[in-house]
Amino acid sequence: MIKQIYVVEDDQDIRQIIEFILEEEGYQVRLFPDVTSFHAVMADDTPDLYLLDVMLPDGNGLELCREIRTNQKIKDIPIIVMSAHARPENIFGQCSANDFISKPFDLNEILYKIKKQITLH
């Protein structure tokens, strides 16, 4: 069964790179440039993993992470948070993310962390 990943990232270039590498690995990817577009489809489907940027044009990935964690239907789905500005200890203190990726990121690191979380889940 193909694993699905939701990516909430406002930078179009980063979204395209992530989409390309994840699809090359056989994942199905849904991309969202902001919180509003994510909310529009949030109830439609349940992914196997969320990949959330912290700084978004209409919200915050940490708030989105907390929102996911309080939703009984999806609260156990792994969440990886990405940020160029936040530090891991700040992320984990504000949100119950499963992992953290610092930007700029290494493509192999993203793949490793995603595979690890999907395997554990």
Question: What pTM was estimated for this model as a whole?
Answer: 0.93
Residue 95 has a pLDDT of 86
What is the band of 92 on the pLDDT scale with cuts at 50, 70, 90?
low
Residue 88 has a pLDDT of 64
What is the band of 86 on the pLDDT scale with cuts at 50, 70, 90?
low
pLDDT digits (tens, 9 = 90+) for 27-81: 999 999 999 999 998 777 899 999 999 999 999 999 999 999 999 999 999 999 9
Whose CA is closest to 98, among 71, 73, 72, 68? Answer: 68
CB under 8 A, 24+ apart: contacts of 105-111: 107/17, 107/21, 110/18, 110/21, 110/51, 111/21, 111/22, 111/25
Residue 45 has a pLDDT of 83
pLDDT digits (tens, 9 = 90+) for 69-84: 999 999 999 999 999 8
Q: Which residue has the higher pLDDT, 49 or 120?
A: 49
